[in-house]
Structure 1
Amino acid sequence: MQARSFLILLFLSATFFSAHAGGKVTTGAERIEQYLPLLQGKRVGMVVNHTSIVGMEQTHLLDTLLKLNVQIVKVFAPEHGFRGNADAGETVKDGKDSRTGTPIVSLYGNNKKPTAAQLKDVDVVLFDIQDVGARFYTYISTMYYMMEACAENKKEMIVLDRPNPCDYVDGPILKPGYKSFVGMLPIPVLHGCTIGELAQMINGEGWIANKKNACSLKVISMTGWKHGEPYSLPIKPSPNLPNDQSIRLYASLCPFEATRVSVGRGTTFPFQVLGAPNKKYGSFAFTPRSLPGFDKNPMHKGIACYGEDLRNTTDVNGFTLRYFLRFYRLSGEGAAFFSRPRWFDLLMGTDSVRKAILKGESEETIRNSWQKELQVYREMREKYLLY
């Protein structure tokens, strides 16, 4: 059995090396020879989803490790579920993987942080999920809670690194009092880190709740990528981020979810359009529908929305408020434009942005307000960069 596993490993390693030799990125998950020895003889829990794929044939990491006789005792599933098909905010239930029979424990809903009982039969946790670089993308909140649980329960954690496809440092820093599942850490809207670098930052800056306990952490780095290089995701990371353009615009359009303006949920181009049921917002029209695989119950379902088509926009690099300010002014509603003001503040990590908008301040003035803190963050971030 050991010989068979060794042969499989040699085959996988050769496949990955060939891919990298052709100029492609080799993710941490694909560097199996680096972390397989850390898993052998141990009971393994995995925090994975549909993006946790390896090799040219896009095999799921769970299936790959089971073939290598790794003892996987359970999978911890984040928002959108293990197979990535649950809507944003939809409850993810415990169960079993239909393909392998592996038990699945949901880390979304009421149980966002693993309990001691859920980790009792686990020796090491393997984390491998594709992030998109935005603070309010909840996979990094799941990673934070898992690191905290591992620290508290004396469990090892291995993070398999992947590139950041929106690799910018931009936006306001989250302030105390605005911590939530869409913002767990004092980092900017676009944090400019890979998940491995962010995990090291969480440990190094003492952000674990009980600061006396750091997480026993190992990051398996990738090869073939460095900061500033573009990266196109092979699999959409969540139902409403279907392509590179949606990922590029995601951070700038997500604040609209605290308003009555649609970001295109219920279309095949979410986070690439903006609109509401009033022609004052623009001439471009779309009608949200119930779309399995995207959003089954979108805002303004069945109602024509008018606004802007951003599918061919190429000048957004980082985080911008230009679209939000434009729609805010067109609305003429003042404070009422923020249908969920607290949600907007949680997404921004501060109430200062909303208050500045209400005062009529320009984007330049608002952006200048966070530059000093952003520079402090950039200098701190340098300590944890791997690429």
Structure 2
Amino acid sequence: MKNFFVPLLIALVSFSSFSCKAKVNSPEKIKVGAESMEKYLPKLEGKRVGLVINHTSTVGKTHLLDTLLSRQVNVAKLFAPEHGFRGQADAGAHILNETDAQTGLPIISLYGKNRKPSAEHLSGIDILVFDIQDVGVRFYTYISTLHNIIEAAANNNIPVLVLDRPNPNGHYVAGPVLEEGYESFVGMNKIPVVYGLTIGELAIMINEEKWASKKHCDLEVIPCENYTHASRYDLPIKPSPNLPNAQSIWLYPSICFFEPTKVSVGRGTDLQFQVIGGPDKNLGRYKFTPVDKPGAHNPVNKDILCYGENLSDVDARNMGFDLHYLFNFYKNFEDKANFFTNERFFNLLTGNGWLIEDLKAGKTVAEVESKWQPALEKFKTLRKKYLIYPDFK
């Protein structure tokens, strides 16, 4: 049969194991969980399968759906996260349920009216397979969909099989840990902004800590091979419309905090999450003008000349999570009273209510970072329990 998706770039790469630590063999290509078909196809035999997938769910150059159908797996239903089944919808755009034109399979949107599968949605499903590429940042909502899948599956006694994929930001842990009262779809679990776990490791943590449900989910992870948390992994497919390359993914944790402000993060340009700027000339010498583009309709500062910085050449992977851009832009922004366009959303992104107050009060980045260190160190200890791959040094 024809591929459900147009062949997407180059073959994927991957990791190691759930039950034991992986052997490091750096010259070997990383192999993602979806490519270890001998490990999970027998678990799907005779089962009615629900797939939680999007455009990143590939086995080599072939979409997972095509791969499974070609092997006579009984795929009964599809579930899609934010940005939709094909990964083309704008951030935050609600997506309706639909029917796939090529296969006739129902597609249940988990970023529309419902963000968690209902008992009715799961009716007739024997097992759920989750295979979506994550970027390792708390407010990237694919992990919120994972949380909801674990909860729904636990409450409806349906097993979940996670096909693991590398974390492109898995080489460090940083940022404030989500605090009670600031839970939302951009932060459902008490983890820092950059949590240093693969989506499989995080699934185990969510399940074992009972963050999603008081009941344990019957959860299994198909690990990557040849992956460690020190590995560099450049995604072969952009995970969403405005994270087009490795540089944008590395910068995303640091500059996403600009989203509820009058500073553009490059949506509506060809350097999404690689440039920052606003109408004030004193924000920087680099100039750009956001315009309507696919995946970025009506972007911040649309059709307005912005002044700021081009970060496309900074060493973002080694820089890690850095609040200096946010603090410097706020300091230099002339109309500080109107810098934020949605303070509540900013607090949900940071996971607390004090960072914004410290920023306004003129506190330094070092002072702010010191406040989140105790909770961060506690999380780092918890994280060690759930690592299934060798850690970074």
The TM-score, its normalising length taken from structure 1, stands at 0.92
User: Which residue of 255, 258, 261 maps to 2:257?
Assistant: 255
Q: Secondary structure at the match of 1:46?
A: strand
Runs of at least 4 residues of structure 1 off by over 6 A? none
Q: Which runs of 5+ in 1 are unaligned?
A: 1-11
Q: How many residues align?
A: 365
Question: How far does the alpha carbon of each residue in 1:122-180 deviate from its partner, in whole angstroms, 9 at most, with x for none?
Answer: 01000000000000000000000010000010001000000000122100000110000
User: Which residue of 29, 44, 50 maps to 2:49?
Assistant: 44
Within 5 Å, which residues of 2 pair with 1:203-218? 203-209=207-213, 211=214, 213-218=215-220
Within 5 Å, which residues of 2 pair with 1:4-19? none
Higher helix share: 1
Looking at structure 2, the residues matched to 356 and 21 of structure 1 have their Cα atoms a distance apart, in angstroms, of 43
User: Which residue of 168, 180, 186 maps to 1:182?
Assistant: 186
CA RMSD of aligned residues (A): 1.6
Q: Give the aligned partner of residue 241 of structure 1.
A: 243
Looking at structure 2, the residues matched to 34 and 132 of structure 1 have their Cα atoms a distance apart, in angstroms, of 24
> Offset of 1:214 from its aligned partner?
1.0
Aligned pair 1:307/2:308, yes or no?
Answer: yes
Q: Secondary structure at the match of 1:86?
A: coil
Question: How far does the alpha carbon of each residue in 1:217-261 deviate from its partner, in whole angstroms, 9 at most, with x for none?
Answer: 000001011011110000000000000000000010101011010
CA contact (8 A) 1:44 1:124 kept: yes
Aligned pair 1:120/2:123, yes or no?
Answer: yes
Looking at structure 1, the residues matched to 332 and 212 of structure 2 have their Cα atoms a distance apart, in angstroms, of 43
CA contact (8 A) 1:25 1:224 kept: yes
Within 5 Å, which residues of 2 pair with 1:140-179? 140-167=143-170, 168-179=172-183
Within 5 Å, which residues of 2 pair with 1:1-387? 23-55=28-60, 58-167=61-170, 168-209=172-213, 211=214, 213-292=215-294, 294-314=295-315, 317-387=319-389
Looking at structure 2, the residues matched to 253 and 374 of structure 1 have their Cα atoms a distance apart, in angstroms, of 20
- Partner letter of residue 275 of structure 1? G
Q: Which runs of 5+ in 2 are unaligned?
A: 1-10, 16-24
CA contact (8 A) 2:174 2:195 kept: yes
Looking at structure 2, the residues matched to 332 and 173 of structure 1 have their Cα atoms a distance apart, in angstroms, of 30
Looking at structure 2, the residues matched to 137 and 322 of structure 1 have their Cα atoms a distance apart, in angstroms, of 21
Q: Secondary structure at the match of 1:172?
A: strand
- Partner letter of residue 36 of structure 1? L
Looking at structure 2, the residues matched to 99 and 296 of structure 1 have their Cα atoms a distance apart, in angstroms, of 28
Q: Give the aligned partner of residue 4 of structure 2.
A: none
Q: Give the aligned partner of residue 7 of structure 1.
A: none
> Offset of 1:26 from its aligned partner?
0.6
- The verdict on how the C-alpha distance between 1:258 and 1:24 changes in structure 2, with shifts beyond 3 A counting, is same
Looking at structure 1, the residues matched to 101 and 328 of structure 2 have their Cα atoms a distance apart, in angstroms, of 47
Q: Secondary structure at the match of 1:369?
A: helix
Name whichever of 337-346 and 98-107 sits farther off.
98-107
Looking at structure 1, the residues matched to 27 and 66 of structure 2 have their Cα atoms a distance apart, in angstroms, of 25
> Offset of 1:352 from its aligned partner?
1.5
CA contact (8 A) 1:335 1:358 kept: no
CA contact (8 A) 1:158 1:217 kept: yes
> Offset of 1:296 from its aligned partner?
2.4
Identity of aligned residues (%): 52
- Partner letter of residue 125 of structure 1? L
> Offset of 1:21 from its aligned partner?
10
Larger relative contact order, structure 1 or 2 (CA cutoff 8 Å, min sep 6):
2
- The verdict on how the C-alpha distance between 1:175 and 1:335 changes in structure 2, with shifts beyond 3 A counting, is farther
- Partner letter of residue 336 of structure 1? N
> Offset of 1:317 from its aligned partner?
2.7
Looking at structure 1, the residues matched to 129 and 328 of structure 2 have their Cα atoms a distance apart, in angstroms, of 43
Question: How far does the alpha carbon of each residue in 1:39-65 deviate from its partner, in whole angstroms, 9 at most, with x for none?
Answer: 11000000000000112xx10000000
The TM-score, its normalising length taken from structure 2, stands at 0.90
> Offset of 1:334 from its aligned partner?
3.6
